[in-house]
Amino acid sequence: MNRPAQSIKKKYTSGKPGKVVEAAYFYYDTAPDHNHNFAIVCGGYEKCDRDFEINRTHYPYYFVKYTVRGRGTMEINGQILPLRPGILTGFEPGTAHHYRADPIDPMEHIFITFLGNQAPDLFRRSTLSENHFIEAANPEQMLRQCRKIIDVGLQKPPFSQEICCHYLHILLLEMAASSANPTARISISTHTYQKCKAYIDDHFSFIQTPGEVAKKCDIDVRYMASLFKKHCHTSPSQYIMALKLNKAANLLLSTDNKIKEIAGQVGFDDPYHFSKNFKQFHGQSPVHYRHAHM
């Protein structure tokens, strides 16, 4: 770790602000006075202890924090704001703030600090500079975006800082778009559909029936079917099957796995049943599809 990153870590994340049960942090080589259009300084994940508390009169960076689980409060500018899953909070450099975990249900959160010439305008448009508090219309989507930043920051692939900055840029712009069009807030039914779709997108290879999805998302399977018909003009079973068969097509072209192995990878116990569905969907058997596109 180079000297600027060491000084950042020592001064601002040495454990003094509050106690944590689990934590993971990443740091980039960006001094506070470095001239950047947009640059993440550091970020991380913390599972807070019951006595977690941060009480600062000053902080040199822009700061955003997404509450993943649990509860707490943020006191800023004379306001006490509740923290719970789905809440994004933030403040500008030099802003006094006081974070505190709920001792009964202490929070887990993801945080990112950043600076740059573009930061003031992005922060203003997202409404965080004025309100310091945003309740996500789609908490699952916001959580996925925050996790992308943390995952890339911790793994440090090539161009990781640029990738993280783009993810954060998009996150703040989406908040700006939502605040600019408050009438576009999604309905409960739309949110339920998005929740079911997100679960399918993440687990489709292992899903056997739409009923499994409905049970995980705590809704009636017939109601879920009506939501899919309304929002994506297909049934949950057809949507799941399409994801399975598109993944299978990709595996046929990108691996040397046998047809039976690929069938198992996308959740088919019977290779014949897999081949029949694959041909109906793609117009060719798995064997002919592989030969035609290799």
Domain ranges of the chain: 3-184, 188-293
The pLDDT of residue 109: 95
Name beta bridge partners: 88: 66, 134
Q: Which CATH superfamily is domain 188-293 in?
A: Homeodomain-like (1.10.10.60)
Give the angle subtended at the CA of 148 by the CAs of 199 and 110, to the nearest 5°: 95
Q: What band does 188 get if pLDDT is binned at 50, 70 and 90?
A: low
The predicted-structure confidence for 14-47, as pLDDT tens digits, reads as follows: 334 458 999 999 998 655 455 578 899 999 999 9
For residue range 202-225, what is the model confidence (pLDDT) as tens digits? 999 999 999 999 999 888 888 899
DSSP category for residue 187: P
- Mean pLDDT within 185-194: 70
Whole-structure pTM value: 0.57
The answer to whether residue 161 scores a pLDDT higher than 80 is: yes
Q: Name 109's Cβ contacts closer than 8 Å, sequence gap at least 6.
A: 45, 46, 48, 65, 66, 67, 68, 83
Query: Does domain 3-184 bear CATH number 2.40.50.100?
Result: no
Q: Residues 234-282: pLDDT tens digits?
A: 999 999 999 999 999 999 999 999 999 999 999 999 999 999 999 999 9
Among the residues of the chain, which ranges form H helices? Answer: 3-12, 119-126, 128-131, 139-155, 160-180, 188-203, 210-217, 221-232, 236-254, 259-265, 271-282, 286-293
Question: Tens digits of per-residue pLDDT, 65-108?
Answer: 999 999 999 998 877 888 889 889 999 999 999 999 999 999 99
Q: Can you give the pLDDT at residue 287?
A: 94
